[in-house]
Structure 1
Amino acid sequence: VDGLYHRNIVDIALAAIQDPTTFSALNTTPFEQRYGTSDGRDIRIYSEAYNSDAALRAYREVSAVPRQARDTMERIVILVDFYSDGTLLANFGEASLHPIYMFFANQSKYTRSKPTSKSCHHLAYIPDLPSGWQNTYTDRFKKPPTKDVHTHMRRELMQAVWRLLLSDKRLRRAYDKGLVSICGDGLTRRAFIRFNTYAGDFLEKQFPCPRCLIPKDQLADLGTPRDMRMRSKFREDSEHRQGLVEQARNRIFKKGYSVNSTRVKSLLEEGSFTPTTNAFSEFLLPRGVNFFSLFAVDLLHEFELGVWKTVFTHLIRIL
C-alpha cells in the first residue's frame, strides 16, 4: 500500500514539552480538584482529564517505576488522546481523507477546543486500498470480493497503520521507562507517555457502547436494576480474546472459510469481535492495560448526528 503519511508519536510529544509556550499550558502532574462549601462539605470536582481518576492512576503507576542510581528527576505523565474518522474534502465529489489526530489531555479542554491553539496534531493519514486489489482478488479466487471482504480489508489496513505507529522502540521506552527531556521551562524531567482515550466512528452496532456488553435489544431497560447489573459487564481484553481472533484468522487464511461464514462468526459473535488482530491489544495487553477502556463514547455520531438530529428534524416538521 502506497501513500501512507505519518509522524512519530514520541516526536510530537517531545516537541510539545520542549516548546516553552506549549509546555506552559500542560498540566503534567495530575491532581484532585475539590470544592469546600459554606456548610463544610468537601465536593470532588470533575472538570478535566488531568484531574480524573485515570490520570491519577497513571501518575501513581509511573511514580512506582524503580529509579536508577542518582535518578532524582521529576516524573511527568503525557496523556495522549487519539481521534480518527473519515472526512470528505468537498461538498461535491468523492474526494476524502482518513486522518488520525493526536491531542494532549494535559491541556485544558477549553484550550483544545480553540482552532487557534494549534493543539490538534496530525499523526497519520490512512491511505485507500490499492486501486487494483479487487482485480488481484478476482484473479486469485475466481470471484470478485464481497462487501464483507472489502470491510475486512479496510480493517486490516487500519490496524496495519496503527501497528506501524506503535512499533516505534522509543514509544515503548517512553511508555515503560520514560524519556529524559529538557522541558520548556528549562528543567530536565522524565516523561512517560500514557494513552488516555481513542475516539472515532464505531460502526459496530450489536453492542452500541464500545466499553460494555449491553446488546442493542436491551437498551429499553435503561435505568432499571437489570440495566445496572448489565453495566458491570465490561468489555475485557485478554489472551483468550486474542486466541479467538487467531483461531478465526486460521479458519479464514488456512482453511479457506469466508470472513462472514458461520465457522468464523461462531468464535467471535459472543463479544462481537472481528477477525482482525488489534494493534492496541498487542501493545497494551502485555502491559496490563485493557484497550477497550480507551474508547470514548461517540456522542457526535450516536447522538448529535443521530438521535438528536432526528428529534430536532421531527420537531421542525411539527412546527
Structure 2
Amino acid sequence: DYGPFDNATQFRLLDHFYGRSDTHSLDALDDLISVVRSPGPSGSFAADDGWHQSAVDIPLPCTHAKYRSEGDAPKFTVTGVIHRRLLPLVKLAVQDPESHLKHVYHWLAHRRFWIPPSSRTAPASASTPTSSSSTSAPPEPIPPEPIRIYTDCYNSDAMLEAEAAIRKKPRVAEDPPDLEYAVLPLLLWSDATQLSNFGSASLWPIYLYFGNLSKYFRGRPTEFLAQHLAYIPRLPDALKDFYMATYGRSPSADDLKFCKRELFQQIWLLLLDADFMHAYEHGIVLTCGDGVVRRIFPRIFTYSADYPEKVLIAALRPLAYCLCPRCLTPKDRVSAAGTKSDERWRARKRQDTKALQAKILRARKNIFKGFSLTGKRVTTWLNAESLTPIQSAFSTRFLEHDVNFYDMLAPDLMHEFELGVWKGVFTHLMRMLAEKGDDTVEEFNSR
C-alpha cells in the first residue's frame, strides 16, 4: 500500500523530491516526470543512437591441451560489448547539416608559415653621393625567412603524405572529374578509468576525434566533439567457471593475461569491420555538412593512451627488454636518454612486417599444441622484441595497406609527462626541499 499515492512510481518520485534535497524546484520535478513519461528507447545506449551490443570469442589456452589448430580450441564468448559502428559514426559527424562547425573543417592539407617582422636592414651602398646636399636613401629591409609552424593534423607532413598517397591512386571510374578527394584523420583515445575512490566501479571507454577540426574546437568540453565509440568490458567471472568445466582446473595468471589481451584485440577487430576497411581502401562518397560532395578516405593518425594501454594495443610485454612501443631501444640503454647514442637507438623503430606476424603465429600454434605460455617453445619467437603471442588487430587490418601501426602510438603529454616524468621529478624536488628545512617549501611556494 502506497497511500495516499496511487502506485509505487508516484511514491518514489515524491520521496525523491521531498526527501533527498531541499534545493529541488517544481520545474525540476516536472522535467523528471516528462523524462519518465517520454516514449521511445530509454537508457544511455539506445539503438536509435547507433549503439549495439555484440559478443566476441576468445580461444582458451591450456598447457598440455593439444589441438590440431587454434580454431579447434574451446572458445569463451564475452557478451555485452557496447559499441557503435565506426563508419556510420563517421557519416553522422561529417554529414551533419545542422552542425555550426560544418564550415570550419579543413578538408585539404596545407603548410602554414609565419613571417616574422623585419628587423634587419641591408648594408649601406658604398657609392659616394655626387653632391653634399643629396641624402642617401634609407637601406631596404631584408625580407625575413618564413618559419613553418605546426598547429594541427591538417598542416602536418603526415596529412600531406596521406593526401599525396590518395592522389597517386587511380580515381574511381564512376567519379566525376570535379569530385573532391579528402582525407579524414581519426584521432583515437582510450583510458581505463576508476569511477570511485571506494569500490570497484570502473569504465573503459574508446572515443575518437576528427583531426580536420582545430584543436581549439576539440579542446572545448562544451562542443561535445569526442565521439564515444565503444566500452571495453572486463573479463567476466564466468570465464573461470567455463575454464574449470573445460579443463578441470582454474586458469593461471598467465592464462587470464592472455585472455585479457585477446579480448582487447577481438573488440578492435569488431570495430574495424569490413565496411570501414572498404571505406579505408576505396573511400566513401558523402555529402558533407557544408553541402560539398566528397570522397572521404578515413585514416587513423594517432592512438593516445597511457603506457599500459599502449603495450596492450601493440601486443607487447610491459617494461620488458624492449619496453618502448615505438622503437627497439633496450632497457639497459634507457639511462642514456638524451645522448647521441640514444638518438641512434631511437632510429631503430619498430616495424610491422609479414615476418613479425609469422613469429607471432608460430608462437600461437605452439600454445595450442599444448606448450606453456611462458615456455621456450613460445617465448623464443617473441623475447627479442618483447612481443606477446597476441596478434594486434591493427596489424591484422592495416599491414596489407603498408601501414606501420606502431607509428600511430603517439606520445601522450598528460600520461607520459604531466602524470609521469614531470610528476615524479617534481615530487622528488619537493622531498629534497623538505630535507633542507621547514621553511624551504614555503619559500618555494612564495616564489
Aligned with residue 262 of structure 1, among 352, 376, 395: 376
C-alpha displacement at 1:13, in angstroms? 1.2
- For structure 1, the residue ranges without an aligned partner over 5 or more in a row are none
| Counterpart for residue 399 of structure 2 | 285
Rounded Cα–Cα distance in structure 2 between residues aligned with 1:313 and 1:257: 45
Q: Note if 1:2 corresponds to 2:79.
A: yes
Does the 8 A contact of 1:7 with 1:123 survive in 2? yes
C-alpha displacement at 1:69, in angstroms? 4.5
Bigger CA drift: 88-97 or 16-25?
16-25
Cα 1:262–1:303 change in 2 (3 A) is farther
Aligned with residue 50 of structure 1, among 132, 141, 154: 154
Cα 1:216–1:300 change in 2 (3 A) is farther
Bigger CA drift: 217-226 or 187-196?
217-226
C-alpha displacement at 1:264, in angstroms? 1.2
Aligned with residue 78 of structure 1, among 164, 168, 184: 184
Residues 158-237 of structure 1: pairs in structure 2 closer than 5 A: 158-169=264-275, 171-203=276-308, 204-206=318-320, 207-237=322-352
| Counterpart for residue 205 of structure 2 | 99
Q: Note if 1:110 corresponds to 2:216.
A: yes
Give the paired residue count: 317
Q: Deviations over 1:47-105 (max 9, x none)?
A: 21111111111111122221215522011111001111211122221011111111111
Does the 8 A contact of 1:79 with 1:194 survive in 2? yes
Moved over 4 A (4+): none
Rounded Cα–Cα distance in structure 1 between residues aligned with 2:238 and 2:175: 58
Aligned with residue 27 of structure 1, among 81, 106, 114: 106
Q: Deviations over 1:296-317 (max 9, x none)?
A: 1233333322232222223334
Rounded Cα–Cα distance in structure 2 between residues aligned with 1:128 and 1:314: 35
Query: Alignment identity in percent?
Result: 42
Q: Deviations over 1:240-277 (max 9, x none)?
A: 01001101101111x21222223211111111111111
Q: Note if 1:315 corresponds to 2:429.
A: yes
Does the 8 A contact of 1:163 with 1:279 survive in 2? yes
Higher Cα Rg, which structure: 2
Q: Which amino acid aligns with 1:48?
A: D
Q: Note if 1:246 corresponds to 2:351.
A: no
Does the 8 A contact of 1:210 with 1:297 survive in 2? no
| TM-score normalised over the length of structure 1 | 0.94
| Counterpart for residue 70 of structure 2 | none
C-alpha displacement at 1:32, in angstroms? 0.7
Q: Which amino acid aligns with 1:96?
A: S
Matched position secondary structure for 1:249: helix
Q: Note if 1:133 corresponds to 2:239.
A: yes
- For structure 2, the residue ranges without an aligned partner over 5 or more in a row are 1-77, 119-142, 309-317, 435-440, 442-447
C-alpha displacement at 1:224, in angstroms? 2.4
Q: Which amino acid aligns with 2:114?
A: Y
Q: Deviations over 1:90-125 (max 9, x none)?
A: 222101111111111111112111111111000001
Residues 147-166 of structure 1: pairs in structure 2 closer than 5 A: 147-166=253-272
Does the 8 A contact of 2:323 with 2:386 survive in 1? no
Superposition RMSD in Å: 1.6
| Counterpart for residue 417 of structure 2 | 303
Q: Which amino acid aligns with 1:160?
A: Q
